[in-house]
Amino acid sequence: MPRRHVVCREDELPPGERRIITIGTRSIGIFNVAGEFYALRNACPHQLAPLCRGRIVGEMVHSQVGEYVLMRKGEIIRCPWHGWEFDIKTGRSIFNPHRVRVKSYEVRVEREGEAGPVLETRTVSADDEDPSVETYPVKVEERMVVVYV
């Protein structure tokens, strides 16, 4: 059963801000997104960078060819090491550069070896699942921000 941990008073964490706390051995980022509170594990699943220290951004979506609109401002956290992006509300991956690929084709390299022709075949795959960040329930109780871990 998750245990209750008081983070701060509600007015000490204004919209758009974050607070990073340690509970036991876990580093956790608490975020205020437009008056709603969310908590994420402070570790990017890629190489365990301090994710919650990254930039809080929005998501660029296209409205038509060559035109982009910033949506969901303040809802996305970008890893400070390699730029992976995660939804602060759900922990789901928004942008994993290893999964962003254009169509790939098989490549064959034929070269002459000591025993005759050698054929090498290489392909690129982006079939791995996108990682997520662990999330924790956050509530405001009697004007106090409380995380349950």
- Closest Cα partner for 148 from 2, 33, 1? 2
Confidence category of residue 89, pLDDT binned at 50, 70, 90: very high
Q: What was the pLDDT predicted at 110? A: 67
Domains and CATH numbers, the chain: 4-97+131-148 (2.102.10.10)
Return the higher-pLDDT residue of 139 and 121: 139
Written as one letter, the residue type at 48 is L
Q: What was the pLDDT predicted at 5? A: 94
User: How far is Cα 84 from Cα 74, in angstroms, rounded to an integer?
Assistant: 15
Please report which helix (H) or strand (E) contains residue 130, including its range.
none
Is the distance from CB of 89 to CB of 75 less than 8 angstroms?
A: yes
Return the higher-pLDDT residue of 7 and 130: 7
User: How far is Cα 82 from Cα 87, in angstroms, rounded to an integer?
Assistant: 16
Q: What is the DSSP string of 56-100?
A: EEEEEEEEETTEEEEEEEEEEEE-TTT--EEETTT-BEEE-TTT-
Q: pLDDT tens across 93-127, in order?
A: 887 666 655 555 666 666 676 666 655 554 444 45
Is the distance from CB of 129 to CB of 99 less than 8 angstroms?
A: no
Is the distance from CB of 107 to CB of 121 less than 8 angstroms?
A: yes
User: How far is Cα 10 from Cα 56, in angstroms, rounded to an integer?
Assistant: 20
- Closest Cα partner for 79 from 52, 39, 40? 52
Q: pLDDT tens across 32-88, in order?
A: 999 999 999 999 988 889 999 999 998 888 778 888 888 789 999 999 998 889 999
Q: What was the pLDDT predicted at 124? A: 43
